[in-house]
Structure 1
Amino acid sequence: MPTVGYVNRTDRLYALVEELRAVAPRPRSARWLAGKFEVSARTVERDIGALQQSGVPIYAEPGRTGGYCLDRSHTLPPVNLTPGEAVAMALALRRLDGTPFRAEAGSALRKLVAAMRKDDAAAAQDLAARVHLLGDAGSPPPMPHVLGTRRVLRIGYADREGAVTRREVEPLGYVGKPDHWYLVAWCRLREQVRVFRTDRITSIAATAEVPPPRPLRREDLDIPYGVVEQLTLAG
């Protein structure tokens, strides 16, 4: 039996659901699943418990040939959410803070992420990790769509006096406030990390160039007021 290493728990949860869906209604034992995913049986049991708490219809069949099985009649096929759509849903959940449906919305997001294709789920996690909100941001405005790309952007940017400069920037991350968004990027004109208010971006175009990876350091997010909080897809 081939083994697959899943370092990311979200990837493993998705793969567990897909494995059980593929063989349903036949069961898979915790020992069998542990061998496939190169984890302990106890880890499998914890993962199954987390999926059950999120509402995934997984049941335990007793007996020597028993194990965990999925009720296919109560599940959906893989959801073709894009990484941007998943992050947009996580941002939308912020509007439900303090309402009676916040927990249910979080559970729905976890189910959708677990049902995404492995590569898309990983890309969504990567994008979410680059989105930060000020602790008092509440519900920030919609993030400009094109800013979700990892490609080099050509932008026109107006300063406080309205003077526009043309720049090529490498997106690193995003910070949301109640009234507007900031793009954190490596500016090739200034040759350093700069922060751009998105409402001052007068034009924008994504190029075909994928820039080399650059880390988004904590000091790049050193905002003198408020607490910066990283967006999560955990709901």
Structure 2
Amino acid sequence: MSVASSRVRGVNRTDRLYALVEDLRASAPRLRTARELAGRYEVSVRTIERDIAALQQAGVPIYADVGRRGGYTLDKAMTLPPLNFTPTEAVAVAAALGRLESTPFAEASRSALAKIVGAMPERDAAAARELADRVRLLRRVDEEPARISPLLEQAIVARRVVRIRYEDRDGAATEREVEPIAAMAGSHCWYLVAWCRLREDTRFFRVDRIQHVALTGLPAPHRPGDDSRYCHPGYVMLRPAL
């Protein structure tokens, strides 16, 4: 397990632009040089300079400090304050987030961890990386990471009605409009808990069986209900503690 990786390989330009912002946010107010960023993303210095220029034109508050020791940084208002995590606490967070690699939140967990480590004092961050190298997480060899459509993620966050094509266990597909309520982790997969307008009831849809997602733009009304009736005996439903 690694708390932070040193290189990012094989990403497309859109992903690289997003990652550049997160890198600069995590390291601010420390400057990052174009050469340093080019080495991390395995592209040319000129490519990094073009990427930074594109982000600045898009309104991202990236500032350049010219000179021999110059580089790029992000507005401090866009960064986390220094975090006083101990190395053990940081590794505990990394281990917990590492369990999300096989969930729809894998990318978000990696981004969150990079921000946390980037806001730690360098000595503590280095100690956390050293400790993380001596921790192992086991995962089933045949366990595939869950995939969730970005549109579905938007719908859950913004509570918007979505139109989905869903394939049941027998392979039969149906088109239906659903009102997202929550995302739920089962024993072997993730589910979308939603009010199904076709069935006029709450339904659990396996994320890996949702074949297509389209946002309707319609707000999903609040529908109070007890979803614990779908819970298997011997299990309890828990919510993340934030």
TM-score (norm 2): 0.41
TM-score (norm 1): 0.42
Pick 1 or 2: higher relative contact order, CA cutoff 8 A, min separation 6.
1
